[in-house]
A and B are shown apart, each in its own frame.
Chain A
Amino acid sequence: MTSLLNPGLLAHIGKSSPPRTELVTRRDIRKYAVATGQRGKQYLAGDEAPPMFHISLFWDVVELDQLTPDGISIDPLVPEFPLKRAMAGGVKLTWHQRIFPGDVLVATRTLTDIYEKQGSQGPLIFYEVTTEIVNSAGLPVVTEKTTRIMR
């Protein structure tokens, strides 16, 4: 079988995006808590962030001209693959500490794997992005590994 993944594509494994720093605010926690239907009073009051709040904190904010016509932003970490249609795969999250308003968090995204599998309807390319989030003391807060599938 001929591989879709050439050495040039595989050379992207290990590349990281520049670290991004964000401040956690009570207002942003409250907005996230309402939008996700949280029941915990500490989340609705903005006293503590729900576990998956970091997804909203670090979603890429791009300018309008950087959005494609379907409204998504191009991930500069991911190379152009020979398969074009993307599907969500899975997510693995590990929490090391809870998040509170006033925390300053730093996220670094790394392309940690690219591999190929044969699906029932043809080849599939999988890629994994690992995001390490640390606090201002450099201690780990959240580790997130997201897998996406190209078909």
Chain B
Amino acid sequence: MAVARIDQIHPGDALPEREFKVDNVELFLYNAVLWNAHRIHFDYPYATQVEGYPGLVIAGPQMGDWLSQCVTDWLGEDGDLESLEYRNRKAAYIGDVLYSGGSVTAVDAAQGRVTLKLFIRNQKGEEVLPGDATVCFPRRAAQRT
């Protein structure tokens, strides 16, 4: 019998890191699918001269999504993302190089739950978006309505 995925996970295990270099097109598409017209995401003169930002601002929930992907890419089909909490600690801008990643903080095999510590960091190593997540094993059955 195959070893269950959760039995192969241990506190301290690292989740794969991923690099993000967002350009104007990707930032535009993200805000377009939301219907978010906030000028700080697409109007460079407004963002820099009126709001005083150093560049176009990457949307907070876009980086939050990258945290969720850090988990779902690691989980594959073995489990479900159950909860995610993150804090918007620093802004990030077009031109920044960002990295997502994390590590396992606790494993409860009896309950089928694993807790994770996650991060989005910038090229200076600063935490832009720290987070915590809980995942459950095995994957829950899909509820079609």
State the A residues within 8 Å of B (CB).
28, 31-32, 34-40, 50-52, 55-56, 59-61, 67, 70-72, 87-95, 97-98, 100, 102-104, 135-137, 139
| Choice from A39, A59, A97 contacting B69 with Cβ under 8 Å | A39
B85 part of interface (Cβ distance < 8 Å)? yes
Please indicate the chain A residues that have their CB under 8 angstroms from the CB of B26 in the complex. Answer: 35, 37
Q: Contact check, A137 vs B145: say whether CB atoms are below 8 A apart.
A: yes
What is the CB-to-nearest-CB distance from B45 to chain A, in angstroms, rounded to a whole number?
13
**A70 (CB) vs chain B CBs: closest residue:** B39
Contact present for B88 and A87 (CB under 8 Å): yes
Asked if B36 and A37 sit within 8 Å, CB to CB, the answer is no
A132-B26 Cα distance, complex, nearest whole Å:
29
B-side residues, CB < 8 A to A, are 20, 26, 29-30, 32-40, 43, 46, 50-51, 60-62, 64-66, 68-69, 72-73, 80-88, 140, 142-145
A-B contact pairs, 20 of them (CB 8 A): A32-B33, A36-B30, A39-B69, A50-B65, A55-B34, A55-B65, A70-B50, A71-B39, A72-B38, A88-B60, A88-B88, A89-B88, A93-B83, A95-B83, A97-B140, A98-B140, A98-B142, A98-B143, A103-B144, A135-B143
Bound-complex Cα distance A36 to B34 (A)? 11
**Are the C-beta atoms of B83 and A94 separated by less than 8 Å?**
yes
CB pair A36 B69 closer than 8 Å: yes
Of the listed residues B73, B87, B145, the one surrounded by the most CB atoms of chain A closer than 10 A to its CB is B145
Q: How far is the CB of B68 from chain A (nearest CB, A)?
A: 5
Name which of A52, A87, A135, A139 has the most chain B CB atoms within 10 A of its CB: A52
Contact for B72 among A50, A93, A102, A135, CB less than 8 A: A50
- Check if B145 sits within 8 Å of A103, measured CB to CB: yes
Q: Is the beta-carbon distance between A59 and B34 smaller than 8 angstroms?
A: yes
